[in-house]
């Protein structure tokens, strides 16, 4: 039996497909910071959920593969210093 494969979606894509603007040039610095914090929380939670499910499968002697479409540290590129 093939290993189960899980793909964690990118949080920014989820936000974008929900209709929210990702053009951060329209925001003040504090708003950009808050947006990145919220995005980071969403990405973290998505990754945590999938990893928890994968861990449960591992206990059933199935070795899952978890792939992250981007990931938690991706936001660092947009967070400034």
Smallest CA-to-CA distance from 71 within 51, 50, 47, 55 is with 47
What is the secondary structure of 8-60 as a DSSP string? Answer: EPPHHHHHHHTT----GGGS-HHHHHHHHHHHHHHHHHHHHHHHHHHHHHHHT
Q: pLDDT tens for residues 26-72? A: 889 898 889 889 999 999 999 999 999 999 887 777 788 999 887 77
Tell which wins on pLDDT, 69 or 75. 69
Taken in order 28, 18, 39, 37, the sign of the CA dihedral is positive
Task: Report the alpha-carbon angle 44-50-55, nearest 5.
Answer: 120
Q: Quote the pTM value.
A: 0.81
């Amino acid at each position: 039996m093939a290993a189960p494969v899980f793909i964690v979606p990118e949080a920014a894509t989820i936000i974008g497909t929900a209709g929210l603007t990702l053009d951060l040039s329209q925001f003040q610095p504090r708003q950009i910071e808050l947006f990145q914090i919220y995005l980071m929380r969403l990405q973290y939670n998505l990754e945590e959920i999938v990893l928890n499910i994968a861990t449960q499968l591992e206990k059933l002697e199935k070795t899952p593969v978890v792939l992250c479409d981007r990931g938690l540290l991706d936001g660092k590129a947009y967070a400034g210093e």
